[in-house]
Amino acid sequence: MKQTSVLKRISESRLLWPLVAWAMILIFNAIVEPGFFKLGIIEDPVYGKRLYGNLVDIFNNGAPLMLVAIGMTLVIATGGIDLSVGAVIAISAAMGAVLINPALGNELITNDILTRNATNTPLPLIVLANLAAGTLCGLWNGLLVSRAKIQPMVATLILMVAGRGIAQLITNGQIMTIYYTPYFWFGNGYILGLPVSIYIVALVLLLAWLLVRKTSIGLFIESVGINAKSTYYSGINEQNVKLLAYTFCGFCGAIAGLILSSYVHSADGNNNGLNYELDAILAVVMGGTLMTGGRFSLFASVIGAVVIWTFTVTVYSLGVPANALLAAKAVLVMVVILLYSDYIRRWMNQFFERRGQKHGTAN
Amino acid sequence: MIEAKNIVKMSGIAKSFPGVIALEDVDFTLRSGEIHALMGENGAGKSTLIKVLTGVEQPDEGAIELDGKFVQVRSPQHSQELGISTVYQEVNLCTNISVAENIMLGHEPYRFGSIHWQKMNELARRAINRLSLDVDITQPLGNYSVAIQQMIAITRALEVLSAKALILDEPTSSLDMHETNLLFDVMRTLKNEGIGIIFITHFLDQVYQIADRITVLRNGKLVGTYDTPSLPRVELVAKMLGRSLTELDAISKEKSHEEEKMHKQHLVEVKGLGRTGTLEPVDLELRASEVLGIAGLLGSGRTELAGLIFGIDSPDKGSLVVCGEKVNNFSPLESLKRGIALCPEDRKAEGIVGDLTIRENIILALQARYGWFKFLSMQKQNEITEKYIQLLGIVTPSPEQLVKNLSGGNQQKVILARWLATNPQVLILDEPTRGIDVGAKTEIQKLVMQLAEEGKSCVFISSELEEVLRVSDRIAVLRDRTKVAEYSSSVDDQTLIHTMAGEL
Q: Which CATH superfamily is domain B261-339+424-433+458-504 in?
A: P-loop containing nucleotide triphosphate hydrolases (3.40.50.300)
pTM for this model (two decimals): 0.76
> In B174-310, which ranges are E strands?
196-200, 213-218, 221-227, 266-275, 279-287, 290-295
Q: Parallel, antiparallel, or unpaired: how do β-strands B196-200 and B35-39 relate? A: parallel
**Other Cβ atoms closer than 10 A to B480:** 12
The reply to whether A234 touches chain B by the CB within 8 Å rule is yes
Q: Which of B331, B342, B347, B356 to mutate to test the interface with A (most CBs of A within 10 A)?
A: B356
Q: What is the pLDDT of residue B388?
A: 95
| Strand arrangement, sheet containing B165-169 | B69-71, B61-66, B6-17, B20-31, B221-227, B213-218, B35-39, B196-200, B165-169, B84-87
- Write out residues in chain B with pLDDT < 70, as ranges: 1-4, 18-19, 42-43, 89-91, 173-174, 243-264, 298-299, 502-504
Alpha helices in B242-377 (DSSP H): 246-253, 302-310, 332-338, 358-370
Q: Parallel, antiparallel, or unpaired: how do β-strands B221-227 and B340-343 relate? A: unpaired
With a CB cutoff of 8 Å and minimum separation 6, the contacts of B344 are A233, B306, B350, B351, B415, B430
Q: What is the pLDDT of residue B2?
A: 47
Distance between start and end Cα atoms, chain B? 45
Whole-number Å distance between alpha carbons of B122 and A248: 61
Question: Nearest chain B Cα to A218, which residue?
Answer: B372
- At B258 the three-state DSSP class reads coil
Helix (H) or strand (E) holding A265: none
**Region(s) of chain B under CATH 3.40.50.300:** 6-248, 261-339+424-433+458-504
Q: Could A235 and B344 be called an inter-chain contact, meaning their C-beta atoms sit closer than 8 Å?
A: no
Alpha helices in A101-216 (DSSP H): 111-114, 123-146, 152-170, 181-188, 196-213
Q: Could B355 and A226 be called an inter-chain contact, meaning their C-beta atoms sit closer than 8 Å?
A: yes
- Closest residue to B365, CB basis, from A226, A227, A235: A235
b/e map of A252-272 (b: 16 or more CB within 10 Å)? bbbbbbbbbbbbbbbbbbeeb
Each of the 363 residues of chain A gets a pLDDT tens digit; together they read 344 566 666 666 778 888 988 999 999 999 988 888 888 888 888 888 888 888 999 999 999 999 999 999 999 999 999 999 999 999 999 999 988 876 655 555 666 666 777 777 889 999 999 999 999 999 999 999 999 999 999 999 999 999 999 999 998 888 888 888 899 999 999 999 899 999 999 999 999 999 999 999 999 999 999 999 999 999 999 999 999 999 999 999 999 999 999 999 999 989 999 999 999 999 999 998 999 999 999 999 999 999 999 999 898 888 888 888 888 888 888 888 787 777 777 787 777 777 666 554 443
Q: Could A215 and B373 be called an inter-chain contact, meaning their C-beta atoms sit closer than 8 Å?
A: yes
Chain A closest-CA separation from residue B333 CA (Å): 4
Whole-number Å distance between alpha carbons of A42 and A136: 40
Q: What is the DSSP letter of A37?
A: G
* Listed residue (B432, B407, B435, B444) closest to B45, CA to CA: B407
Whole-number Å distance between alpha carbons of A191 and A199: 8
Question: Nearest chain A Cα to B374, which residue?
Answer: A215
**Other Cβ atoms closer than 10 A to B70:** 9
* Listed residue (A230, A288, A299, A312) closest to A76, CA to CA: A288
Rounded to 5°, angle at Cα B468 from B463 and B471: 150
User: How far is CA B378 from each of CA A126, A349, B385, rounded to the nearest angstrom?
Assistant: 41, 29, 10
Whole-number Å distance between alpha carbons of B284 and B320: 10
Rounded to 5°, angle at Cα B305 from B304 and B308: 85
Chain A closest-CA separation from residue B276 CA (Å): 22
* Listed residue (B43, B53, B51) closest to B7, CA to CA: B53
The reply to whether A227 touches chain B by the CB within 8 Å rule is yes
A-chain residues near B367 (CB < 8 A): 216, 219-220
Q: What is the pLDDT of residue B3?
A: 57
Q: For chain A, what is the radius of gyration of the CA atoms?
A: 22
Residues A333, A337, A338, A340: is their CA dihedral positive or negative? positive
User: How far is CA A95 from each of CA A104, A129, A134, A138, rounded to the nearest angstrom?
Assistant: 11, 7, 9, 15
Q: Could A232 and B332 be called an inter-chain contact, meaning their C-beta atoms sit closer than 8 Å?
A: yes
How many pairs of residues across A and B have Cβ atoms under 8 Å apart?
72
What is the tally of structural domains in chain A?
1
> In B335-408, which ranges are E strands?
340-343
User: How far is CA B78 from each of CA B56, B72, B161, B454, rounded to the nearest angstrom?
Assistant: 10, 9, 11, 56
Q: Which of B330, B335, B355 to mutate to test the interface with A (most CBs of A within 10 A)?
A: B355
DSSP secondary structure of A41-76: EEEETTTEEEEEEHHHHHHHHHHHHHHHHHHHHHHH
A316 burial class (0-12, 13-18, 19+ CB within 10 angstroms)? Answer: middle
Chain A closest-CA separation from residue B495 CA (Å): 34
Backbone φ and ψ of A242, nearest 5° = -65, -45
With a CB cutoff of 8 Å and minimum separation 6, the contacts of B4 are B31, B32, B33, B34
CATH number of domain containing A242: 1.10.3470
B-chain residues near A216 (CB < 8 A): 367, 370-376
Helix (H) or strand (E) holding B65: strand B61-66
The reply to whether A222 touches chain B by the CB within 8 Å rule is yes
Q: Could A219 and B360 be called an inter-chain contact, meaning their C-beta atoms sit closer than 8 Å?
A: yes
Domain of residue A103: give its range: 2-362
Helix (H) or strand (E) holding B325: strand B325-326
Which residues of B lie closer than 8 Å to A, measured between beta carbons?
Answer: 18, 312, 331-333, 335-336, 342, 344, 349-356, 360, 364-365, 367-376, 418
Domain B6-248 has CATH 3.40.50.300: yes
Asked if residue B417 lies in contact with residue B392, where contact means CB atoms within 8 angstroms, the answer is yes
In Å, the largest CA–CA distance within chain A is 81
Chain B closest-CA separation from residue A202 CA (Å): 22
Alpha helices in B60-176 (DSSP H): 76-81, 99-104, 117-130, 146-159
